[in-house]
């Protein structure tokens, strides 16, 4: 009888421990779900608000971003970027000295105005100069743009504009295709002369 009582107590303790573990697991899952829901609210709410209040204007172009050319090797791209950075720092004098020194080096042909990569190089120089010569207005604007909601608003604005542009271009292409098909469906050889006009 004593052994039976000890066995029941051990089973009850084991059962209580299992129930406590299960309760803790459920509480942890509920807490994780609440945290996930709260995080999703923090992300989704600003996106929904930004999607409701999308401006109808075209988003501003990227000021400090120059798209990289995929046809360049990594070394050539690095050389162009480094030259652009030092040109932004040193100015035209540095550019003239570098051009004079490297005029026979084919890796620096992009320094010639007639080269196809010269426009890429000058775009990089312009971007670096803007970054180096920031006014207080630009700094304040950059700080404002770093805010979480401002980033989301700009991203939604750009996405909305790109989606509308794609839809408009698709509709235009569809209309042009329908017009070409209608024009092609006319039998230009099946006609009869009704009257001749003499001038």
pLDDT in tens, 19-74: 999 999 999 999 999 888 888 777 777 777 777 788 888 888 887 788 888 888 99
CB atoms within 10 A of CB 145: 11
Q: What is the pTM of this model?
A: 0.54
Give the number of domains in the chain.
2
Read off the pLDDT of residues 96-148 as tens digits, 9 standing for 90 and up: 999 999 989 999 999 999 999 999 999 999 999 988 888 788 778 778 877 77
85 & 124 share domain: yes
The closest alpha carbon to 85, from 144, 128, 135, 43, belongs to 128
41 & 84 share domain: no
Q: What is the pLDDT of residue 68?
A: 83
Whether pLDDT at 180 is above 80: yes
116 & 30 share domain: no
168 & 78 share domain: yes
- Give CA–CA dist 184/164, Å, rounded: 30
Q: Whole-angstrom distance between the N-terminal and C-terminal Cα of the chain?
A: 130
Q: Name the 3-class secondary structure at 55.
A: coil
For residue 84, what is the domain's CATH number? 1.10.10.790
What residues make up the domain containing 28?
1-53
42 & 95 share domain: no
CB atoms within 10 A of CB 125: 20
Q: Is residue 81 part of a domain?
A: yes
Q: Is residue 14 part of a domain?
A: yes
């Amino acid at each position: 009888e004593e052994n039976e009582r000890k066995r029941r107590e051990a089973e009850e303790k084991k059962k209580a421990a299992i129930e406590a573990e299960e309760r803790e697991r459920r509480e942890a899952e509920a807490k994780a779900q609440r945290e996930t829901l709260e995080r999703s609210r923090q992300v989704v709410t600003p996106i929904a608000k930004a999607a409701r209040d999308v401006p109808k204007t075209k988003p501003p172009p990227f000021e400090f971003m120059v798209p990289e050319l995929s046809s360049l090797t990594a070394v050539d791209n690095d050389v162009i970027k480094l030259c652009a950075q030092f040109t932004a720092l040193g100015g035209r004098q540095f550019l003239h000295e570098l051009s004079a020194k490297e005029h026979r080096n084919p890796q620096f042909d992009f320094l010639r105005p007639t080269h196809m990569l010269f426009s890429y190089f000058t775009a990089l120089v312009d971007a670096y100069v803007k970054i180096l010569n920031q006014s207080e207005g630009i700094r304040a604007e950059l700080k404002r743009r770093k805010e979480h909601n401002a980033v989301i608003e700009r991203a939604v604005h750009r996405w909305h504009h790109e989606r509308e542009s794609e839809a408009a271009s698709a509709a235009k292409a569809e209309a042009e295709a329908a017009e070409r098909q209608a024009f092609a469906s006319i039998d230009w050889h099946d006609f009869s002369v009704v009257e001749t006009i003499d001038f």
